[in-house]
């Protein structure tokens, strides 16, 4: 069956319901260059289902990979085992173990298991000793800064804004035809100065409110 748009399928359905034959439908829209077999197929679908878009039950290519047993195996491997964090496997390793394509594993996870992929978030490990040290320091800070004195403390922080910000290697891609070695190097290389020009912005807050942002230049060459 040739590729026919949804609008064209609806046109064929209307003409078929008006009593036109297969050849008459093809002749009416010669500029579309519809194949006779394609028109016959769509008209028969209309007769069987009443629609030019809906497939009859059991129609289409049968599944060869995403079978119930494969779905269960993917579900068991892609998620961590109970009370065993970190035991999940990547889609690449699952594909190698089950001897199927990686895209089939991804489709099974998204469509059949209704799973979503999320990036891991890096976090600092805080041991019990570090927690205790921070707790003790907080107590000392509270004793040094009672409420009446904390109202007089002014907290400040600074942030550098560079003229050439860092490159996001995950999203900043170069699309091109052929292989990577055929792409112009100027499109692939992103030059950044080691000590780039930047502006530092400082701000502060206290019990009475916040100050306006103050910007000043540093290391401008």
Burial class (CB in 10 A: 0-12, 13-18, 19+), 109: buried
Mark whether 170 and 210 lie in a shared domain: yes
63 in any annotated domain: no
pLDDT in tens, 129-165: 999 999 999 898 888 887 778 788 888 888 888 777 6
| Strand-pair partners of 84 | 81
Share above pLDDT 90 across residues of the chain, in percent, rounded to a whole number: 5
Mark whether 91 and 147 lie in a shared domain: no
* Contact predicate 78/91, CB 8 Å: yes
117 in any annotated domain: no
Looking at residue 97, its pLDDT comes to 87
147 in any annotated domain: yes
What DSSP state is assigned to residue 55?
P
Domain range holding 212? Answer: 154-218
61 in any annotated domain: no
Mark whether 137 and 165 lie in a shared domain: no
Q: How many helices (H) and strands (E) does the chain have?
A: 9, 4
Mark whether 88 and 134 lie in a shared domain: no
Mark whether 73 and 104 lie in a shared domain: yes
107 in any annotated domain: yes
pLDDT tier at 221, thresholds 50, 70, 90? very low
What span, in angstroms and rounded, lies between the C-alpha atoms of 3 and 202? Answer: 61
Determine how β-strand 155-162 pairs with β-strand 209-210.
unpaired
Question: How is residue 202 written in tokens?
Answer: 């400082």
pLDDT tier at 220, thresholds 50, 70, 90? very low
60 in any annotated domain: no
41 in any annotated domain: yes
Mark whether 136 and 163 lie in a shared domain: no
pLDDT tier at 117, thresholds 50, 70, 90? confident
What span, in angstroms and rounded, lies between the C-alpha atoms of 192 and 166? Answer: 8
Mark whether 158 and 147 lie in a shared domain: no
For 212, phi and psi rounded to 5 degrees? -70, 150
Number of domains in the chain: 4
44 in any annotated domain: yes
147 Ramachandran zone, left/alpha/beta (phi>0; psi -120 to 50): alpha
Across the range 40-52, mean pLDDT stands at 84
């Amino acid at each position: 069956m040739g590729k026919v748009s949804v609008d064209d399928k609806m046109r064929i359905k209307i003409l078929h319901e008006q009593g036109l034959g297969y050849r008459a439908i093809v002749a009416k829209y010669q500029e579309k260059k519809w194949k006779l077999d394609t028109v016959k197929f769509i008209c028969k679908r209309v007769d069987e289902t009443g629609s030019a878009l809906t497939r009859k039950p059991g129609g289409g290519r049968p599944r060869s990979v995403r079978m119930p047993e494969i779905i269960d195996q993917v579900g068991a491997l892609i998620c961590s085992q109970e009370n065993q964090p970190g035991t999940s496997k990547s889609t690449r390793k699952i594909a190698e173990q089950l001897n199927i394509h990686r895209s089939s594993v991804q489709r099974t996870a998204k469509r059949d298991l209704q799973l979503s992929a999320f990036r891991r978030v890096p976090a600092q490990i805080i041991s019990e000793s570090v927690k205790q040290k921070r707790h003790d320091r907080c107590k000392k800070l509270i004793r040094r800064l009672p409420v009446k004195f904390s109202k007089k403390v002014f907290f400040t922080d600074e942030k550098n804004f560079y003229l050439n910000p860092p490159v996001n290697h995950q999203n900043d891609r170069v699309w091109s035809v052929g292989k990577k070695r055929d792409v112009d190097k100027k499109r692939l290389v992103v030059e950044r100065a080691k000590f780039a020009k930047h502006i530092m912005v400082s701000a502060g807050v206290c019990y009475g409110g916040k100050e306006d942002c103050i910007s000043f230049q540093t290391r401008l060459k």
